[in-house]
Amino acid sequence: MALRPEQMSKVSVTGSKRVIDDVIEAAYDHHSLHVTDYDDRYEGFAPGDSIAGAEAVNERLVTVRSLESILDVDDGDADGIGSLDDEELATELETTRDRVNELNDRRDDLRASIRDRQEAIERMEPFADLGIALDLLGGYDSLEVVVGEAKADAVEAALAAADDVASFEVFSGGTVVAAFAAPADGAEEGFLQDSLVGVDIALLEVPDADATPSEYVAELERERSELESELAEVDAELASVKEDAAGFLLRAEEQLTIEAQKKEAPLSFATTENAFIAEGWIPTATFPEFESTIADAVGDHAAVEELERASFTPDGDHHTETVERDHGDASSPDGADESAEREAATDGGRATQASDDPPVVQNNGKAAGPFELLVQGFGRPKYSEFDPTLLVFLTFPLMFGFMIGDIGYGVLYAAVGWYLYSNYEGAFREMGSVAMWAGAFTILFGIYYGIDLFGYHAYPWFGIESWPIAKGLSPGAGEWALAWLVMSALFGILHLNAGYILSFVSNLQQHDLKHAMYESASWLLLLNGAWVWIFSTQAGGVRPEFLRPDVTLPVVGNLAELDLVASGEKPEFLFTSIDVVTLGAVQFQGLPEIVGIVALLGAFVGFLLLAIGEPTEIAEVLSPIVNVISYARIMAVLLAKGGMALAVNLLAFGAYIDEGGEGSYHFIFTPSRLAEVQAQPETYELVFAGISTAFEPSVIGVVALVGAILVAIVGHIVVLLLGITAAGIQAVRLEYVEFFGQFYEGGGDPYSPFGYDRRYTSEE
């Protein structure tokens, strides 16, 4: 587990083309070399060609994937690990392909026929409304017939006014009309349609059939039913083929994929007529083993060299350390190849491919590893950057758990996480692990807040009369809401300090102390100077606008009304909040005045450093204060989610406030308890009677109880889902914007080693 990705080394493998197959095989099996493509920039070298047989392998691979698509084969259809020789693969693939293609063609024909019948049925529906036999709607020598969707009275009016119509008859059914007309003397063919030019009519083509529309539809439906039966038989045959061939197809795809990758590997190499050079990145710790593997495979016919070791620097750049190696006794692959390489390397030096950034191998251990998913959502770290995954692992579940703080919700989050972790791979599995950590911290904070269980304080179940800690929702717990506001700000200060410190270290490594002071230390001084002064007793009569006593905060209300602000001084809750959270164990009266003065001087020095080194950033000089205030969203979500759970329970079960309306919320649950509350108005302030307590026990009372339970279940499901979107999104936002914004860009290249993780085939 580290804040840096794994160190990488750039290596080259140079050898005779006679051993290129063996080198590819050895490198593939070792599965550690991230091959870089040759970019054709060196005279005398050219990109290599695929190994013979690559085209045939790819054709087979396309066939296998096509069959998998037709049969809808997925990973769950695997039938174990096995091996395939080339002859077995070719024979079985041909047999399976012929059978599947035959059935698939038949299925396509049946589907097309069924579709034709369905369309014909739909076309017949208008004629069925007419109730006229289809053979009567055409075939006349002395009459013209038009069938269409139109208003019958409009058609009749148009035909009555037409000079070319001697007589006519209009039949209608629903929105469909059939007009029969005899021509007047001198009328030309098509006179009927010409007479209806001014009518809004959608003409219908009359099907060629002798039966009535209902008989014709019945015949079409019978044919469709027969075709659907045939289709079901074909689908059953395909399902049987899938059951028999799915395992083979998965093994064949994997084996052919491996063969294709090996045969196409030379496309990334630099080659001459007799030699090749392959370059790429490999974890530095793995290089000796990789070198030994190539040597065991081809002996001295190929040379493996560690060209450089990449060191960590920020800002999207990296520098390398050239590795000195003793080549005095090294033998060339062979004389001919050595000559070819010398001829190709026309500048007399070692032929190397274009410089490239090392790929990133994140190394965060089993616990923090899944949180790479959140980091990669912003962007994979560059090789030169600090990897913030460990810090996200330490802070994201903490923020999430603090904001939700409920055992019931935490158990459900953890359960959903366990389901994802146990049943999926890849991103869903990692998401499940993150959810389990978030759920665990939600449970811990739920215990801390009073053994909260879906918004209900369960500590009385354990014989505890009162709980000293609150979320700050009750009228008598306003100081806790302010305390969580201060704690959110303090957490933000620590979080941002971590980001600025990482930025300072990065700038120091990349440049020098001067750059680090201008670009990072300036912000550190501004951040800590401003906030240390705020938490000091210096200049008590002067305070930032957002700390004035007449400011009204959500939930807690006006600060002056809470009697937490002494006239002419900074808000007292800045200092007393620590006493509240520690239950009096820490008596904080504010930092000494001299500390506040020093802090102001430090902030001024930070401003000067920023003005000298980064004058364009002066407009953002207040961002350290603003960014910390942004962490107040942690307290806001805590109160919002707690308030929503309280509202659900209040609606379902009723609630009252003790101490004459100045104490804490308590749920009522039963009609008898409701009667007690109503009998003592001077002691208890009834907030809402609740659905479950609204009726005496009876049939209506049972219905009310069931209704209350349903309201509670649905309400808490909504709160559960909103908890993900609120607490989850806000925690991610604080990580991405406030924290990452100080030192992290992302955009690194993933590590894709040459090789394959087999799942369905063995190497034998």
**61, pLDDT greater than 50:** yes
Three-state SS across 488-535?
HHHHHHHHHHHHHHHHHHHHHHHCCHHHHHHHHHHHHHHHHHHHHHHC
Q: How many degrees, rounded to 5, is the angle at CA 434 between CA 433 and CA 439?
A: 95
Angle between helices 632-653 and 623-630 in degrees, nearest 10 = 20
The phi-psi region of residue 476 (left if phi > 0; otherwise alpha if psi is between -120 and 50; otherwise beta) is alpha
Token reading at 294: 């190539």
Looking at residues 701-729, what average pLDDT do you find? 88
Residue 488 pLDDT: 96
C-alpha span between 629 and 496 (Å, rounded): 12
Computed from CA positions of residues 293, 299, 303, 305, in that sequence, does the dihedral angle turn out positive or negative?
positive
Residue 693 pLDDT: 77
**697, pLDDT greater than 70:** no
Closest CA to 387 of 407, 360, 408, 420: 360
To which residue do tokens 């994140």 refer? Answer: 362
Q: What are phi and psi of 521, to 5 degrees?
A: -60, -30
Residue 1 pLDDT: 53
Q: What is the DSSP string of 662-728?
A: TS-EEE--SHHHHHHHHH-TTT-EEEE--STTSS-SSHHHHHHHHHHHHHHHHHHHHHHHHHIIIII
Poorest-pLDDT segment among 46-60, 546-560, 683-697: 546-560
Poorest-pLDDT segment among 96-110, 133-147, 255-269: 133-147
Residue 283 pLDDT: 94
Residue 658 pLDDT: 83
Residue 403 pLDDT: 95
Residue 214 pLDDT: 80
- What letter does residue 38 receive in the DSSP assignment? P
From the CB of residue 3, how many other CB atoms can be counted at a distance below 10 Å?
Answer: 17
**564, pLDDT greater than 80:** no
Angle between helices 522-534 and 593-613 in degrees, nearest 10 = 150
Residue 706 pLDDT: 85
CA distances, 602 to each of 138, 198, 525, 528, 671 (Å):
99, 88, 6, 8, 63
Is residue 245 within 8 A of residue 36, CB to CB? The reply is no
Q: What are phi and psi of 481, to 5 degrees?
A: -60, -45
How long, in residues, is the chain? Answer: 764
What percentage of the chain has pLDDT greater than the value 90? 48
Q: Which carries the bigger pLDDT value, residue 648 or residue 540?
A: 648
To which residue do tokens 């390397």 refer? Answer: 345
Three-state SS across 534-545?
HCECCCCCCCCH
Looking at residues 137-148, what average pLDDT do you find? 87
Q: How many degrees, rounded to 5, is the angle at CA 469 between CA 465 and CA 474?
A: 90
Token reading at 699: 């049939």
Residue 130 pLDDT: 78
What residue ranges in 220-295 does DSSP mark as E strands? 270-271, 275-283
CA distances, 599 to each of 201, 547, 584 (Å):
86, 18, 27
From the CB of residue 98, how many other CB atoms can be counted at a distance below 10 Å?
Answer: 10
CA distances, 688 to each of 59, 473, 621, 685, 700 (Å):
72, 16, 49, 9, 19
Residue 327 pLDDT: 45
Residue 339 pLDDT: 43
Closest CA to 189 of 139, 147, 143: 143
C-alpha span between 64 and 89 (Å, rounded): 11
Residue 764 pLDDT: 61
- What letter does residue 764 receive in the DSSP assignment? -
Residue 107 pLDDT: 95
**343, pLDDT greater than 50:** no
Query: Is residue 230 within a helix (H) or strand (E), and if so which, with residue range?
Result: helix 213-264
C-alpha span between 116 and 326 (Å, rounded): 78
> For the segment 149-170, what is each residue's pLDDT rounded down to a tens digit?
889 899 899 989 888 888 999 8
What percentage of the chain has pLDDT greater than the value 70? 88
**Helix then strand then coil, % of the chain, to nearest 5:** 55, 10, 30
Q: What are phi and psi of 211, to 5 degrees?
A: -80, 170
Is residue 305 within 8 A of residue 11, CB to CB? The reply is yes
Beta bridge partners of 146: 179
Is residue 748 within 8 A of residue 385, CB to CB? The reply is yes
Q: How far apart are the first and last CA of the chain?
A: 35
Query: Is residue 179 within a helix (H) or strand (E), and if so which, with residue range?
Result: strand 176-183
Q: Which domains does the chain have, with CATH numbers?
A: 8-48+269-344 (3.30.70), 60-114+225-257 (no CATH), 121-218 (3.30.70), 472-630 (no CATH), 641-741 (no CATH)
Token reading at 131: 């109730």
Is residue 749 within 8 A of residue 360, CB to CB? The reply is yes
Closest CA to 637 of 411, 471, 525: 471
C-alpha span between 107 and 97 (Å, rounded): 15
**702, pLDDT greater than 80:** no
pTM over 0.85: no
To which residue do tokens 């008989």 refer? Answer: 215
Average of per-residue pLDDT values in the chain = 85
Residue 19 pLDDT: 94
Angle between helices 623-630 and 522-534 in degrees, nearest 10 = 60
Helix locations, 299-426, DSSP H: 335-344, 365-368, 372-378, 389-404, 407-423
Looking at residues 666-683, what average pLDDT do you find? 81
Poorest-pLDDT segment among 5-19, 25-39, 465-479, 519-533: 465-479
SS3 449: coil
**260, pLDDT greater than 90:** yes
Closest CA to 137 of 152, 126, 147: 147
> For the segment 278-301, what is each residue's pLDDT rounded down to a tens digit?
999 999 999 999 999 999 999 999
Residue 724 pLDDT: 87
Which range among 398-407, 514-523, 585-594, 707-716 has the greatest average pLDDT?
398-407
> For the segment 180-211, what is each residue's pLDDT rounded down to a tens digit?
999 998 888 888 888 888 888 888 888 777 77
Beta bridge partners of 308: 10, 322
Query: Is residue 145 within a helix (H) or strand (E), and if so which, with residue range?
Result: strand 144-149
Closest CA to 452 of 472, 432, 433: 472
To which residue do tokens 């350290």 refer? Answer: 624
To which residue do tokens 């990296």 refer? Answer: 318
SS3 592: coil
Residue 483 pLDDT: 93
